[in-house]
Amino acid sequence: MIYQCNGCKRTTFETACPWCTSSELSPSPELSSRHLTPIDPSFYPDFQYRSKGLLQDFFGKKKEQAQLNDLLNNVLRKYSELKQPYFINFIHTTREGGGSADGHGAPGPRMDGVYSERELFREVLIRKGFDELEELPSLLDKLLMTTAFNSEYYGFSVELSRHLKVNLADTLRSWIEEAGVSFRANLALFYYFLWENDVSFSGIQLNPQAATTAGIPLLPMQAFRNALSLCEEIHFDILVERLESQLEHFDPNQFITMYLVDAMDGFKFEDFLVEIFQTIGYDVKETKRTADQGADLFVSRFGKNMVIQAKNYSGSVGNSAVQQAISAKAFYGCDEAMVVTNSYFTRSAKELASTAAVRLVDREGLQSYLDDYNQKLIEVFQADEETA
Protein backbone atom coordinates (compact mmCIF):
# COMPACT_ATOMS: atom_id res chain seq x y z
CA MET A 1 0.00 0.00 0.00
CA ILE A 2 1.01 3.63 -0.42
CA TYR A 3 0.78 6.32 2.25
CA GLN A 4 1.12 10.09 2.40
CA CYS A 5 2.83 11.60 5.43
CA ASN A 6 0.63 14.28 7.01
CA GLY A 7 3.77 16.06 8.21
CA CYS A 8 6.16 16.34 5.24
CA LYS A 9 3.57 15.42 2.54
CA ARG A 10 5.94 12.87 0.97
CA THR A 11 4.58 9.55 -0.23
CA THR A 12 5.99 6.25 1.00
CA PHE A 13 5.41 2.51 0.97
CA GLU A 14 6.58 2.19 4.59
CA THR A 15 4.24 2.16 7.60
CA ALA A 16 6.35 4.90 9.24
CA CYS A 17 7.53 7.92 7.27
CA PRO A 18 11.27 7.38 6.64
CA TRP A 19 11.73 11.11 6.00
CA CYS A 20 10.30 12.38 9.30
CA THR A 21 11.83 9.78 11.62
CA SER A 22 15.37 8.65 12.34
CA SER A 23 16.54 5.24 13.49
CA GLU A 24 17.39 6.73 16.89
CA LEU A 25 14.07 8.50 17.43
CA SER A 26 11.73 6.30 15.44
CA PRO A 27 8.25 6.20 16.99
CA SER A 28 6.31 3.01 17.55
CA PRO A 29 4.46 1.69 14.47
CA GLU A 30 1.11 2.48 16.13
CA LEU A 31 2.09 6.09 16.83
CA SER A 32 3.73 6.75 13.48
CA SER A 33 0.81 5.27 11.56
CA ARG A 34 -1.43 8.02 12.93
CA HIS A 35 0.55 10.48 10.83
CA LEU A 36 0.11 8.55 7.58
CA THR A 37 -2.85 8.60 5.21
CA PRO A 38 -3.32 5.41 3.15
CA ILE A 39 -4.81 5.67 -0.31
CA ASP A 40 -6.99 2.68 0.66
CA PRO A 41 -8.90 3.21 3.96
CA SER A 42 -8.75 -0.51 4.78
CA PHE A 43 -5.06 0.00 5.60
CA TYR A 44 -5.75 2.27 8.56
CA PRO A 45 -4.43 0.54 11.71
CA ASP A 46 -7.95 0.77 13.21
CA PHE A 47 -8.89 -2.12 10.96
CA GLN A 48 -5.90 -4.29 11.84
CA TYR A 49 -6.08 -6.69 14.79
CA ARG A 50 -3.56 -5.81 17.52
CA SER A 51 -2.29 -8.60 19.77
CA LYS A 52 -3.36 -8.59 23.44
CA GLY A 53 -1.14 -11.44 24.53
CA LEU A 54 -0.85 -15.13 23.73
CA LEU A 55 -3.77 -16.43 25.84
CA GLN A 56 -6.17 -13.60 24.97
CA ASP A 57 -5.30 -14.00 21.33
CA PHE A 58 -5.89 -17.74 21.52
CA PHE A 59 -9.35 -17.45 23.12
CA GLY A 60 -10.58 -14.10 21.82
CA LYS A 61 -8.89 -13.29 18.56
CA LYS A 62 -11.26 -15.22 16.33
CA LYS A 63 -14.35 -13.46 17.71
CA GLU A 64 -12.74 -10.02 17.83
CA GLN A 65 -11.32 -10.39 14.36
CA ALA A 66 -14.74 -11.36 13.05
CA GLN A 67 -16.26 -8.26 14.68
CA LEU A 68 -13.47 -6.14 13.25
CA ASN A 69 -14.02 -7.60 9.80
CA ASP A 70 -17.75 -6.83 10.02
CA LEU A 71 -17.00 -3.22 10.97
CA LEU A 72 -14.43 -2.95 8.21
CA ASN A 73 -16.76 -4.35 5.56
CA ASN A 74 -19.64 -2.08 6.61
CA VAL A 75 -17.49 1.04 6.69
CA LEU A 76 -15.80 0.31 3.36
CA ARG A 77 -19.07 -0.56 1.67
CA LYS A 78 -20.74 2.66 2.81
CA TYR A 79 -17.65 4.71 2.02
CA SER A 80 -17.59 3.23 -1.50
CA GLU A 81 -21.27 4.03 -1.98
CA LEU A 82 -20.97 7.59 -0.68
CA LYS A 83 -17.55 8.47 -2.05
CA GLN A 84 -19.24 9.74 -5.22
CA PRO A 85 -20.44 12.41 -4.87
CA TYR A 86 -20.53 13.13 -1.12
CA PHE A 87 -16.94 12.66 0.08
CA ILE A 88 -15.24 13.90 -3.06
CA ASN A 89 -17.48 16.93 -3.47
CA PHE A 90 -17.05 17.83 0.20
CA ILE A 91 -13.28 17.82 -0.30
CA HIS A 92 -13.62 20.19 -3.27
CA THR A 93 -16.22 22.54 -1.79
CA THR A 94 -15.44 22.81 1.91
CA ARG A 95 -13.61 25.87 3.22
CA GLU A 96 -12.22 24.03 6.22
CA GLY A 97 -8.66 22.78 6.45
CA GLY A 98 -7.42 19.22 6.89
CA GLY A 99 -7.98 16.94 9.88
CA SER A 100 -9.94 18.69 12.59
CA ALA A 101 -11.18 18.00 16.09
CA ASP A 102 -14.48 19.72 15.27
CA GLY A 103 -17.54 17.54 15.10
CA HIS A 104 -16.31 14.87 17.52
CA GLY A 105 -19.11 15.50 19.99
CA ALA A 106 -22.63 14.12 19.92
CA PRO A 107 -24.31 14.79 16.57
CA GLY A 108 -27.44 16.92 16.38
CA PRO A 109 -28.56 20.48 17.19
CA ARG A 110 -27.05 22.51 20.05
CA MET A 111 -28.20 25.57 21.94
CA ASP A 112 -25.44 27.79 20.52
CA GLY A 113 -26.56 27.01 16.97
CA VAL A 114 -22.99 27.16 15.63
CA TYR A 115 -21.81 24.20 13.55
CA SER A 116 -18.72 23.52 11.50
CA GLU A 117 -19.05 22.29 7.93
CA ARG A 118 -17.56 19.02 9.10
CA GLU A 119 -20.28 18.55 11.73
CA LEU A 120 -22.98 19.18 9.16
CA PHE A 121 -21.31 16.77 6.74
CA ARG A 122 -21.17 14.07 9.41
CA GLU A 123 -24.92 14.52 9.96
CA VAL A 124 -25.51 14.18 6.21
CA LEU A 125 -23.63 10.86 6.23
CA ILE A 126 -25.43 9.57 9.34
CA ARG A 127 -28.77 10.30 7.71
CA LYS A 128 -27.54 8.43 4.64
CA GLY A 129 -27.00 5.32 6.81
CA PHE A 130 -23.38 5.80 7.95
CA ASP A 131 -24.28 4.87 11.56
CA GLU A 132 -20.66 4.07 12.52
CA LEU A 133 -19.89 7.80 12.61
CA GLU A 134 -22.07 8.18 15.73
CA GLU A 135 -19.78 5.84 17.69
CA LEU A 136 -16.54 6.54 15.79
CA PRO A 137 -16.62 10.26 14.89
CA SER A 138 -12.83 10.39 14.39
CA LEU A 139 -13.29 7.96 11.50
CA LEU A 140 -14.68 10.82 9.41
CA ASP A 141 -11.39 12.71 9.47
CA LYS A 142 -9.52 9.64 8.29
CA LEU A 143 -11.92 8.93 5.44
CA LEU A 144 -11.72 12.58 4.36
CA MET A 145 -7.92 12.46 4.36
CA THR A 146 -8.01 9.31 2.24
CA THR A 147 -10.48 11.00 -0.13
CA ALA A 148 -8.18 14.01 -0.48
CA PHE A 149 -5.19 11.74 -1.08
CA ASN A 150 -7.12 9.81 -3.73
CA SER A 151 -8.09 13.07 -5.42
CA GLU A 152 -4.47 14.22 -5.44
CA TYR A 153 -3.32 10.89 -6.86
CA TYR A 154 -5.94 11.05 -9.60
CA GLY A 155 -4.60 14.42 -10.77
CA PHE A 156 -1.06 13.08 -10.57
CA SER A 157 -1.89 9.97 -12.62
CA VAL A 158 -3.53 12.04 -15.38
CA GLU A 159 -0.38 14.13 -15.67
CA LEU A 160 2.03 11.18 -15.44
CA SER A 161 0.27 9.23 -18.18
CA ARG A 162 1.57 11.81 -20.68
CA HIS A 163 5.18 11.00 -19.77
CA LEU A 164 5.24 7.23 -20.32
CA LYS A 165 8.07 6.21 -22.65
CA VAL A 166 9.56 2.90 -23.81
CA ASN A 167 11.97 2.62 -20.86
CA LEU A 168 12.24 3.75 -17.24
CA ALA A 169 15.04 6.31 -17.70
CA ASP A 170 13.23 8.16 -20.49
CA THR A 171 9.95 8.10 -18.54
CA LEU A 172 11.62 9.49 -15.42
CA ARG A 173 13.39 12.19 -17.41
CA SER A 174 10.20 13.32 -19.15
CA TRP A 175 8.38 13.43 -15.79
CA ILE A 176 11.18 15.22 -13.89
CA GLU A 177 11.60 17.83 -16.64
CA GLU A 178 8.05 18.97 -15.93
CA ALA A 179 7.68 18.11 -12.24
CA GLY A 180 10.99 19.61 -11.08
CA VAL A 181 12.07 18.81 -7.53
CA SER A 182 8.58 17.52 -6.62
CA PHE A 183 9.82 14.09 -7.77
CA ARG A 184 11.40 13.74 -4.30
CA ALA A 185 8.00 13.89 -2.62
CA ASN A 186 6.05 11.96 -5.27
CA LEU A 187 8.38 9.14 -6.30
CA ALA A 188 6.28 6.56 -4.46
CA LEU A 189 3.23 7.82 -6.37
CA PHE A 190 5.21 7.22 -9.57
CA TYR A 191 5.83 3.56 -8.75
CA TYR A 192 2.29 3.08 -7.46
CA PHE A 193 1.05 4.37 -10.83
CA LEU A 194 3.22 1.79 -12.65
CA TRP A 195 1.80 -1.01 -10.48
CA GLU A 196 -1.82 0.12 -10.74
CA ASN A 197 -1.64 0.45 -14.52
CA ASP A 198 0.41 -2.72 -15.04
CA VAL A 199 3.31 -0.82 -16.64
CA SER A 200 6.45 -2.99 -16.72
CA PHE A 201 10.00 -1.75 -17.02
CA SER A 202 13.13 -3.88 -17.00
CA GLY A 203 14.75 -4.13 -13.56
CA ILE A 204 11.66 -3.15 -11.55
CA GLN A 205 10.13 -5.82 -9.33
CA LEU A 206 7.05 -4.69 -7.42
CA ASN A 207 5.65 -6.91 -4.66
CA PRO A 208 2.05 -7.87 -5.57
CA GLN A 209 1.30 -8.88 -1.95
CA ALA A 210 1.57 -5.21 -0.94
CA ALA A 211 -1.86 -4.59 -2.44
CA THR A 212 -3.62 -6.72 0.18
CA THR A 213 -1.25 -7.08 3.13
CA ALA A 214 -0.49 -4.30 5.61
CA GLY A 215 3.19 -3.79 6.39
CA ILE A 216 4.53 -5.18 3.11
CA PRO A 217 5.96 -2.38 0.92
CA LEU A 218 5.36 -2.33 -2.81
CA LEU A 219 9.05 -1.57 -3.29
CA PRO A 220 11.74 -2.30 -0.66
CA MET A 221 13.29 0.78 0.92
CA GLN A 222 16.74 0.09 -0.54
CA ALA A 223 15.30 -0.26 -4.04
CA PHE A 224 13.34 2.95 -3.47
CA ARG A 225 16.50 4.79 -2.39
CA ASN A 226 18.27 3.49 -5.49
CA ALA A 227 15.42 4.84 -7.61
CA LEU A 228 15.67 8.20 -5.84
CA SER A 229 19.41 8.25 -6.57
CA LEU A 230 18.68 7.63 -10.26
CA CYS A 231 16.19 10.51 -10.23
CA GLU A 232 18.79 12.82 -8.68
CA GLU A 233 21.25 11.91 -11.45
CA ILE A 234 18.63 12.65 -14.10
CA HIS A 235 17.67 15.94 -12.42
CA PHE A 236 21.34 16.97 -12.21
CA ASP A 237 21.83 16.31 -15.93
CA ILE A 238 18.70 18.34 -16.73
CA LEU A 239 19.99 21.30 -14.69
CA VAL A 240 23.41 21.17 -16.38
CA GLU A 241 21.86 20.99 -19.86
CA ARG A 242 19.52 23.87 -19.07
CA LEU A 243 22.35 26.08 -17.86
CA GLU A 244 24.40 25.26 -20.97
CA SER A 245 21.41 26.17 -23.15
CA GLN A 246 20.81 29.41 -21.23
CA LEU A 247 24.44 30.46 -21.63
CA GLU A 248 24.22 29.81 -25.36
CA HIS A 249 20.87 31.44 -26.06
CA PHE A 250 20.34 34.00 -23.28
CA ASP A 251 19.13 37.37 -24.60
CA PRO A 252 18.92 40.16 -21.98
CA ASN A 253 16.29 41.92 -24.09
CA GLN A 254 14.00 38.88 -24.13
CA PHE A 255 14.61 37.02 -20.88
CA ILE A 256 13.43 38.13 -17.45
CA THR A 257 15.90 38.73 -14.64
CA MET A 258 15.17 39.45 -11.01
CA TYR A 259 16.37 43.03 -11.55
CA LEU A 260 13.60 43.58 -14.09
CA VAL A 261 11.11 42.15 -11.60
CA ASP A 262 12.33 44.58 -8.93
CA ALA A 263 11.61 47.48 -11.31
CA MET A 264 7.97 46.42 -11.84
CA ASP A 265 5.10 48.13 -10.06
CA GLY A 266 2.45 46.07 -8.26
CA PHE A 267 0.13 45.65 -11.27
CA LYS A 268 2.96 44.74 -13.66
CA PHE A 269 4.18 42.21 -11.10
CA GLU A 270 0.72 40.60 -10.99
CA ASP A 271 0.58 40.52 -14.81
CA PHE A 272 4.00 38.92 -14.95
CA LEU A 273 3.00 36.26 -12.42
CA VAL A 274 0.14 35.37 -14.76
CA GLU A 275 2.71 34.68 -17.49
CA ILE A 276 4.95 32.77 -15.07
CA PHE A 277 2.26 30.40 -13.83
CA GLN A 278 0.79 29.87 -17.30
CA THR A 279 4.24 29.02 -18.66
CA ILE A 280 4.94 26.43 -15.98
CA GLY A 281 1.63 24.63 -16.58
CA TYR A 282 -1.06 26.27 -14.43
CA ASP A 283 -4.45 27.51 -15.56
CA VAL A 284 -4.61 31.14 -14.43
CA LYS A 285 -7.45 33.55 -13.75
CA GLU A 286 -6.79 37.12 -12.66
CA THR A 287 -8.98 38.95 -10.17
CA LYS A 288 -10.20 42.51 -10.22
CA ARG A 289 -7.70 45.20 -9.33
CA THR A 290 -9.86 46.31 -6.40
CA ALA A 291 -12.17 44.65 -3.86
CA ASP A 292 -10.53 41.29 -4.45
CA GLN A 293 -10.84 40.05 -0.85
CA GLY A 294 -7.08 39.56 -0.61
CA ALA A 295 -6.74 37.68 -3.92
CA ASP A 296 -4.51 38.87 -6.76
CA LEU A 297 -4.94 35.83 -9.00
CA PHE A 298 -6.20 32.26 -9.01
CA VAL A 299 -4.36 29.29 -10.46
CA SER A 300 -5.39 25.66 -10.79
CA ARG A 301 -3.61 22.40 -11.48
CA PHE A 302 -4.33 18.72 -10.81
CA GLY A 303 -7.91 19.67 -9.95
CA LYS A 304 -6.90 21.97 -7.08
CA ASN A 305 -7.55 25.71 -6.93
CA MET A 306 -5.05 28.09 -5.33
CA VAL A 307 -5.36 31.79 -4.54
CA ILE A 308 -2.20 33.92 -4.75
CA GLN A 309 -1.21 37.16 -3.08
CA ALA A 310 1.49 39.07 -5.03
CA LYS A 311 3.81 41.37 -3.07
CA ASN A 312 6.47 43.31 -4.98
CA TYR A 313 8.31 44.86 -2.02
CA SER A 314 11.69 46.36 -1.35
CA GLY A 315 11.39 45.43 2.34
CA SER A 316 10.34 42.27 4.15
CA VAL A 317 6.81 40.91 3.83
CA GLY A 318 5.00 40.57 7.16
CA ASN A 319 1.91 38.94 8.66
CA SER A 320 -0.67 41.05 6.83
CA ALA A 321 0.08 39.44 3.47
CA VAL A 322 -0.33 35.96 4.96
CA GLN A 323 -3.56 37.00 6.69
CA GLN A 324 -4.91 38.31 3.38
CA ALA A 325 -4.10 34.98 1.73
CA ILE A 326 -5.85 33.09 4.54
CA SER A 327 -8.94 35.29 4.21
CA ALA A 328 -9.01 34.92 0.42
CA LYS A 329 -8.70 31.14 0.65
CA ALA A 330 -11.71 30.97 2.99
CA PHE A 331 -13.77 33.56 1.09
CA TYR A 332 -13.36 31.90 -2.30
CA GLY A 333 -13.30 28.31 -1.02
CA CYS A 334 -9.90 27.51 -2.53
CA ASP A 335 -7.86 24.40 -1.75
CA GLU A 336 -4.58 26.25 -1.20
CA ALA A 337 -3.17 29.75 -0.69
CA MET A 338 0.20 31.24 -1.64
CA VAL A 339 2.07 34.50 -1.17
CA VAL A 340 4.72 35.37 -3.80
CA THR A 341 7.27 38.13 -3.33
CA ASN A 342 10.51 39.38 -4.85
CA SER A 343 11.70 40.01 -1.29
CA TYR A 344 11.76 37.88 1.88
CA PHE A 345 9.30 37.07 4.67
CA THR A 346 9.58 38.03 8.31
CA ARG A 347 9.93 35.29 10.88
CA SER A 348 6.41 35.88 12.22
CA ALA A 349 5.01 35.66 8.68
CA LYS A 350 6.70 32.28 8.23
CA GLU A 351 5.33 31.04 11.55
CA LEU A 352 1.78 32.15 10.69
CA ALA A 353 2.01 30.61 7.22
CA SER A 354 3.22 27.34 8.73
CA THR A 355 0.27 27.07 11.10
CA ALA A 356 -2.25 28.05 8.41
CA ALA A 357 -0.76 25.92 5.60
CA VAL A 358 -0.07 28.94 3.36
CA ARG A 359 2.73 28.41 0.83
CA LEU A 360 5.38 31.14 0.76
CA VAL A 361 7.53 31.89 -2.29
CA ASP A 362 10.33 34.34 -1.49
CA ARG A 363 13.04 35.81 -3.71
CA GLU A 364 14.90 32.52 -4.02
CA GLY A 365 11.74 30.60 -4.80
CA LEU A 366 10.69 33.21 -7.36
CA GLN A 367 14.11 32.90 -8.99
CA SER A 368 13.44 29.19 -9.59
CA TYR A 369 10.15 30.14 -11.28
CA LEU A 370 12.05 32.67 -13.43
CA ASP A 371 14.52 29.95 -14.40
CA ASP A 372 11.65 27.70 -15.51
CA TYR A 373 10.04 30.59 -17.40
CA ASN A 374 13.25 31.47 -19.24
CA GLN A 375 13.87 27.78 -19.97
CA LYS A 376 10.47 27.55 -21.67
CA LEU A 377 11.42 30.53 -23.84
CA ILE A 378 14.67 28.77 -24.78
CA GLU A 379 12.78 25.61 -25.72
CA VAL A 380 10.47 27.65 -27.96
CA PHE A 381 13.53 29.31 -29.53
CA GLN A 382 15.19 25.93 -30.18
CA ALA A 383 11.97 24.52 -31.66
CA ASP A 384 11.72 27.50 -34.03
CA GLU A 385 15.34 26.92 -35.09
CA GLU A 386 14.64 23.27 -35.89
CA THR A 387 11.59 24.09 -38.03
CA ALA A 388 13.24 27.02 -39.81
Please tell me the predicted confidence (pLDDT) of residue 31: 46
Check residue 370 and give its pLDDT.
85
Quick one: average pLDDT of 103-110?
64
pLDDT exceeding 70 applies to what percent of the chain?
Answer: 82
> pTM for this one?
0.66
pLDDT value of residue 150: 92
What is the arithmetic mean of pLDDT over 162-169? 93
Average pLDDT over residues 65-74: 78
Which pLDDT belongs to residue 165?
Answer: 94
Residues of the chain above pLDDT 90, percent: 28
Taking residues 262-271, report their average pLDDT. 84
Predicted pLDDT at 254? 65
CA nearest 286: which of 257, 318, 310?
A: 310
CATH architecture of 258-387: 3-Layer(aba) Sandwich (3.40)
Q: What is the pLDDT of residues 272-321, one digit of tens each?
A: 888 888 877 788 876 655 444 446 788 887 778 889 988 988 788 888 89
Which of 6, 7, 17 has the alpha carbon at shortest distance from 217?
17
Domain ranges of the chain: 39-161, 258-387
pLDDT at 55 over 60: no
Residue 99: band (very low, low, confident or very high) from pLDDT cuts 50, 70, 90: very low
Per the model's pLDDT, the better-predicted residue between 352 and 248 turns out to be 352
Of residues 180 and 16, more confidence is placed in 16
First to last CA, the chain: 50
The answer to whether 190 and 206 have CB atoms below 8 angstroms apart is no
Q: If 0-12 CB within 10 Å is exposed, 13-18 middle and 19+ buried, where does residue 105 land?
A: exposed
> How many Cα atoms within 13 Å fall on the side-chain side of residue 162?
9
Region 26-47 average pLDDT: 71
Question: Residue 176: how many CA atoms within 13 Å on its side-chain side?
Answer: 23
Residue 25 pLDDT > 70: no
Whether 388 has a pLDDT exceeding 90, the answer reads no
For the beta sheet containing 36-38, the strands, ordered from the edge strand earlier in sequence to the opposite edge, are: 11-12, 3-5, 36-38
Asked if residue 216 has pLDDT above 60, the reply is yes
pLDDT of residue 100 exceeding 50, the answer is no
In this prediction, residue 328 has a pLDDT band, given cuts at 50, 70 and 90, of: confident
